[in-house]
Amino acid sequence: MIPGTFEYHAPRHLDDALGLLAEYRDDGKLLAGGQSLIPVMKLRLAEPKHIIDINRIAGLSHIAETSDELRIGALTRERDLERSDIVRQRYPLLLDTANVIADPLVRNLATVGGNLAHADPANDHPATMLAYRASVVALGPNGERVIPIDDFFISAFETTLQPDEILTEVRIPKPNGRAGGAYVKLERKVGDYAIAAAAVQLSFAYDGTIAEAGIAVTNVSYTPERSSAAEAIVRGNRLTDDVIRAAAQAAADACEPTADLRGSVEYKRAMTRTMTARALRLALVRAGA
Q: Smallest distance from the beta carbon of 14 to ligand FAD, in angstroms?
A: 10
140 binds ligand FAD (CB under 6 A): no
Query: From residue 215 to residue 244, what is the string marking binding to ligand FAD with x (rule CB under 6 A)?
Result: ------------------------------
Under 8 Å between Cβ of 138 and 147:
yes
Under 8 Å between Cβ of 103 and 192:
no
Nearest to 52 by CA among 136, 138, 157, 163: 163
Contacts 24+ apart (CB under 8 A), 225-229: 225/130, 225/153, 225/254, 226/130, 226/131, 226/150, 227/251, 227/254, 227/255, 227/276, 228/254, 229/253, 229/254
Total residues contacting ligand FAD by CB under 6 A comes to 31
Phi, psi torsion values for 148, nearest 5 degrees: -60, 140
111 binds ligand FAD (CB under 6 A): yes
CA distance 274 to 248: 7
CA distance 138 to 170: 9
Cβ closer to ligand FAD: 118 or 262?
118
169 binds ligand FAD (CB under 6 A): no
CA distance 277 to 200: 10
76 binds ligand FAD (CB under 6 A): no
CA distance 18 to 21: 5
Cβ closer to ligand FAD: 31 or 70?
31
Q: Smallest distance from the beta carbon of 167 to ligand FAD, in angstroms?
A: 3
Stretch that binds ligand FAD, among 7-15, 113-121, 259-267, 269-277 (CB under 6 A): 113-121
Q: Smallest distance from the beta carbon of 86 to ligand FAD, in angstroms?
A: 20
Cβ closer to ligand FAD: 30 or 184?
30
Cβ closer to ligand FAD: 39 or 177?
39
What is the β-pairing status of strands 158-159 and 153-155? antiparallel
Ramachandran sector of residue 16 (left: φ over 0; alpha: ψ -120 to 50; beta: rest): alpha
Cβ closer to ligand FAD: 124 or 225?
124
Interface with ligand FAD in residues 2-41 (CB under 6 A): 29-37, 39
Q: Smallest distance from the beta carbon of 240 to ligand FAD, in angstroms?
A: 32
Question: What residues are paired with 9 via a beta bridge?
Answer: 52
Q: Smallest distance from the beta carbon of 31 to ligand FAD, in angstroms?
A: 5
Which residues sit at the interface with ligand FAD, rule CB under 6 A?
29-37, 39, 74, 101-102, 106, 109-111, 113-115, 117-118, 120, 123-125, 161, 166-167, 191, 193
